[in-house]
Structures are given as C-alpha cells and as structure tokens.
Structure 1
Amino acid sequence: MEGKLSNRVALVTGGASGIGRGIAHRFALEGAKVSVVDINLEGAKKVVKDIENLGGKALAVECDVGDENQVNKAVRETEESLGRVGILVNNAGNVTFNLVSNMTTEQWRDMFRVHVEGAFYFSRAIVKSMETGDRIINISSVAGLTGETMGAHYSAAKTALLGFTRTLALEVAHQGITVNAIAPGIIETAMTKEIIAGAPEFCKDIPIHRFGTPEDIAETAVFLASPGADYITGQVIVVDGGLTLYNTSQQLIHRALGI
C-alpha cells in the first residue's frame, strides 16, 4: 500500500488492542510495515491478520515491555523480519485504581515498569540505529498533565514519560530524529470501559461532546510520523476533545447556556 509512511518499518507496543491497535492499522494503511508488539500474542496475531487482509505487511511479536531481555529480543525479531525500525510508538500501558493511602508498592512499581521502563528499553534499543527523518512517539495521557483521582501511580508514570520525551528529543535532534508525545483524553478502549460505563453522561462535559476513539489518536500519530512533522520535536500533543480546557466555571456557563 502507498501512503505517507510507505516503505517505513514501525514498531508499536501494546498493539494488540485499543489505541495501539488503531495506530497499527492506520500506519499499515499509510504503507508502513508494522511490528505489533504485545504481551497478548494471540491478540497481536489478530491485528496482523487484519492488516494482511488489507494488503499490508505486519509481524506479531510477544513481549513483556517491562522485561529488558524480552524487549531486545522483540527488536531483533522485528529487524530480522521487516528491516530497520524507523518509527517507534511506545504505547503499551495498563491501569489500576487506588488511593495513595491504600496503594501497594507493587501497584506503584508496576505502573512505572510498564509505562516508563518499557519506553526506555525500546527507545534505547532502537534509537542507536535510527536515521534522519525517523520518529519516536510516546503515548502519555492527560492524567500526566492534570493528575487523576485514585491514579497517582498512573499520573506519575505518564508525567515521567513526558520528561523522558523532552529529554530524548534534545539528545537526538541533531541527528534529525524527532521525539514527541501524545496525551489522549478519555478514549473508548477496554482500559476505559469501566470508567465510561460508570459515568456515560460525562461525555456531555467534554466540549466536543463525545469520548475519543483509537482512530483519533491514530490520526495524530500518523501526522507525527510523517514528513509533515519534520520540525516538531519535544512536544506534547493533547488529543482530548477540549477536556483539559474545561474547568468548573466553564461547566457552569455551558450548562446555563445549554451548550
């Protein structure tokens, strides 16, 4: 397939579902060869089959992103099958909820292990062979900008990912490699299913009046991976339907005006 990413090799972590799956599909439609990396191998294989049915080329790779050895192995498998990775999307993530007062050390550490250490391991393994025009895209969250009740560990990990993004961007800018982050709002995925089910009317408090979709994030990822984003690096692109702009006073005004 021909497109903005033709003949590029992209590796997407957490690619078996949700935002990762959306990005993998969209990259394939733009002509990229996609390595779908996930701890859920069967899910990754389904995504690969979907991409192949569309006429694209993809590879399913099983990997626990918090395991350094598995990460290095996943990168080798990708390079051997598809070629040098020019686009890396660090998307793998998980979510749990707990108050700080009740949070276990294991819950805290696991959040950083997956979100932060995973991004570090993959970036370190791949950036050494990257060339001018290559891209690293980290999937953070608006929780990394605003905080999140019962999610101190998640918010802290996503904030750390933003610091990592900015620093790595500075380190590799002279090589023509860009590093950016996307901060999604509430996106309809398996991870947010319980949140949305518990408060379906909340979408009315989002200025655009709907929850986001994986496709919304995928479109932004395609732009950041494309030649059109050559002069953008170290940035956080918020894709949240205006959620982070909507404070309490604005909510009252909107409700009073019926909009």
Structure 2
Amino acid sequence: MPDHDGRAGVTSPRVLVTGGGRGVGAAIVRALALSGFEVTFTVRTATAEAQALIAEIKAEKPDAALTPRSLDLADKAAVDGFAAEVADGPAYFGFVHNAGMSYDTLAALVDQTRAEELMQVNYWSFVRLAGALLRPMTRARAGRIVAIGSIAADVANAGNAVYAGSKAALAGYCRTLAIESARRGVTVNVVAPGFVDTAMLEPYAACRANVEKQIPAGRFARPADVAGVVDFLLSPGAAYVTGATLPVDGGLTAALAIQR
C-alpha cells in the first residue's frame, strides 16, 4: 500500500531536476523542496545561482535537502556517466526534465551541428536519464516523470523549427513511455509552457507588450506558475494522470490566432 504521500516502497522521496539553477528550473526546485522532496538538481553554468537558491530555500525550510550537481547535458559521455550513476543508486520517486536550449533560425538555414546539440540537450538527454531512472521506479512500483515541453510543439512560430521539433519529439516519446509504464505505478506527463518571464525571452523584450495583448490572461507566465503544475503532478492527487500534456500558457493556444 502507498504511504500517506502516495509513494509506495519509497522511504526517501528523492527527485531529480535537470537545469535547476535558474528560471523555471529554480522555481521547480523550490516548489518541490518546500513540498518535502529531497531534490538533486543539475546545473551547467549557474553554480552561483544554485548556491543562492539553496540558501534562499533553507532560510524558509531549514531541513530542506538539496544537492546541486554539475552536468552539461550537451556532453553525451557526461550524461551517460551520470545516468549509470543514478541507475545504480537508490530509486528516485520523481524526474523532472527542465533543462533545454533554444535555437532561432529559419528552417531553410538550419545548421545541423547546432540542431544536433539542441536535440541532445532537449531530447536525447531525457531519453537516456528517463531510461536509467525508470527501472528502479518500476521495481518500487512508484514514480513520476515530468518533461517540460512547450506549446511550440503544437503551434508553429517562424524561426522556431528545430526547437519545436525537439519539443514535439519529447511529447511523443512521453506518451509512449506513459502507456508502457502505467501498470508499474509510474506516471509520465508533459508540462507545456507558453511565454514565461525568464532570461530566455529577454531578447524579445521589444515585442513583449504586443505579445501580452494576444494572451487571454494578459501576461507572461511566472516561473512559479509552471512549477506549481509540476508540483501537482508529483503529488498524490495526480496519481491517475498520465500520458497528458498540460499547457501552461494563459489560454494562448485556446485562442483563435486571428484577432479582430
């Protein structure tokens, strides 16, 4: 039987978050740590931000368990090594793949080397790490896997072909993984943000006001808006939610693109 948190067979609610040093990833780390999870999170360059994040969380929850790990998801050998490590360790209850990179260019001008690096970070690193973590989860008959996708997987935006393709691949993979693992107590879902107020969108500051006018909610998402949905998906209340993609976009994809 599951314990009071719904995590059957798991004595320590351990969660791995990729790209947890800043932005949406930091908000996810914060939300999960404050919910009582023991959070390991990867960083590439955000080392100082990670330490500041840990200090901030511990000021609010002194017993919070947080472990930053340096990992470049673009480095396939490094990802393989880390995957082997987590596969041999105690089972993780949750895995949140937040890390990602963008690459804006017209489809006709795509540089394959850059595109392959993006696919390694956004897609292949998830495939490798999810595969490593899934077997211990299925043995424990408890696990939650969440991939941070994007509404770009379903709606086109000029100059976004490679990024959108990586997120569409991620969503398709997660749907299949969900049906393969559901009977073993593991859920797999995608959270698909729209425009989120992070450093990734700073280059588009000049057109922000115009974009916000087209979002029914009238604003960009806050990182905490995305983190709250992730926190829910790792909660007991989401035990029967799997194979889903949950948009966090303020109604943007529900709206008709042509404005009167």
1:141 corresponds to 2:146? no
2:169 paired with 1:154:
no
How far does residue 66 in structure 1 lie from its aligned partner after superposition?
A: 3.3
| 1:58 aligned onto 2:66 | yes
Shift of 1:75: 5.1
**Which SS does the other structure have where 2:109 is aligned?**
coil
Structure 2 matches for 1:184-199, cutoff 5 A?
184-199=193-208
1:211-251 superposed Cα distances (whole Å, 9 cap, x missing partner): 101100000001111110111111100110001112234x2
1:125 has 2:125 as partner: no
The TM-score with structure 1 as length reference comes to 0.88
- Cα distance in 2 between the residues matched to 1:61 and 1:103: 32
SS of corresponding position for 1:16 = coil
Corresponding position of 1:47: 53
- Take 1:144 and 1:28, find their aligned partners in 2: how far apart are those partners? 29
The reply on whether 1:108 has 2:76 as its aligned counterpart is no
Change (3 A) 1:248 1:60: closer
Matches within 5 A, 1:18-37: 18-37=23-42
Q: Quote the residue 1:96 is aligned against.
A: 103
Count of aligned pairs: 249
Once residues 16 and 96 of structure 1 are traced to their aligned partners in structure 2, the CA distance between those partners, rounded to angstroms, is 20
Instruction: Answer yes or no: is 1:244 the counterpart of 2:253.
Output: yes
Query: Structure 1 residues 100, 59: closer, same or farther in 2, change over 3 A?
Result: same
Instruction: State the distance in 1 between where 2:125 and 2:55 align.
Output: 25
In structure 1, what is the Cα distance between the partners aligned to 2:101 and 2:181? 28
- The Cα RMSD (Å) is 2.3
Shift of 1:107: 2.1
Question: Residue 37 of structure 1 aligns to which amino acid in structure 2?
Answer: T
Unaligned runs of 5+ in 2: none
Q: Distance in 2 between matches of 1:84 and 1:248?
A: 44
Runs (4+) of structure 1 exceeding 6 A deviation are 3-6, 76-81
CA positional deviation for 1:196? 3.5
SS in 2 for 1:248: coil
Gaps of 5+ in 1: 253-259
TM-superposition CA deviations, 1:57-84 (whole Å, max 9, x none): 1001001123344235445767899x53
The 1-side partners of 2:114 and 2:209 are apart by 27
Task: Give me the TM-score of the superposition, normalised by structure 2.
Answer: 0.88
